[in-house]
Amino acid sequence: MPTDSIDTSSISFTALYTGHTWLANDLAAPVFRTTAGSLYYHALTPFEWLGRGVLGDNFRTLLLQRHRIMDHLLEEAIETRGVTQVLEIACGLSPRGCRFVRSYPELNYIETDLPDMAARKKALLDGIDGSVPQVMPINIFASDGELSLDHVLDQFDYSQPIAVITEGLVVYFELDTITEFWRRLSRRLDEFPAGIYLSDDYPMGGGRSRPVQKMIQTAARLLGTAARSPVSIHFEDDAQMRDHLMALNFDEVSVHDPRAYYDVLPIPKSRGNPIVRVIEARSDQGR
């Protein structure tokens, strides 16, 4: 089913833009193409070039950095940590689920998003031949019912290790709000023999000058306006990010800097300190 046959009027700008970014970089099948995503992608090319020139970084760079690093860490989790099931929250138009269920046929992969986006993603996947991930609706702040995190996690096997992914989600919530989700997720991952949580965030410090920090804050406000949702910068540096997650009862937290992967993965390089970080939080005690 061509994506253009699906009404995308209520899909966010960022979902459409990132969806086309994956397509433009050979990470997604043609069925993921949308007219709106293509228009956004090409219309914003001059601004991406400007961001690259002024900040040494831009939205496309950080999207590819975080996506490929998460893919790499998920592959490691499957191949060396015994992960057999994956929950991707706020999947949008991400093609990751399709790629992974074909690379690992035994993998139980469930993609989730708010009900409207989940319905559109399911319609898109229904038009693809071969294995595709399951799609379910979720609202990470629902306390009970079919949209709750508890209900979605109950679809998995509690005797097997699990990976949970939120890509491009957490910045749209204030720190106190997203911390409540992180705390609940940490408690629930303890019910599995091992749990790995992958996410992205954007520390403000790390030696950046005040003018650069102000430009990043301005870019965040513009992104929030385009996405019709405020964008929050939660942490000053990597250590603060790690300490915050550790305080939520994860057993081990690693913060991955894209610079460590320049010679490992086919990712674009930032000039200076990359804006994005990938969080890998683990729960291994199986309490």
Q: What is the tens place of the pLDDT at every residue in 110-119? A: 999 999 999 9
Whether 103 shows a pLDDT value over 60: the answer reads: yes
Take residue 266 and report the two structure tokens written for it: 């086919």
What's the pLDDT score for residue 221?
62
Q: What is the tens place of the pLDDT at every residue in 37-64? A: 888 888 887 777 776 666 667 889 999 9
pTM: 0.90
Between the alpha carbon of residue 71 and those of residues 174, 238, 255, the distances in Å are 26, 21, 15
Whether 197 shows a pLDDT value over 60: the answer reads: yes
Q: What is the tens place of the pLDDT at every residue in 124-143? A: 898 888 899 999 999 999 99
Alpha carbons 227 and 219: distance in angstroms, whole number: 12
Helix axes 13-24, 59-80, angle to 10 degrees: 70
What's the pLDDT score for residue 58?
83
- Which numeric CATH code is attached to 57-283? 3.40.50.150
pLDDT band for 219, please (50, 70, 90 cuts).
low
Measured over the CA atoms of residue 129, residue 8, residue 94 and residue 151, the dihedral's sign is negative
Strands 252-256 and 195-201: unpaired
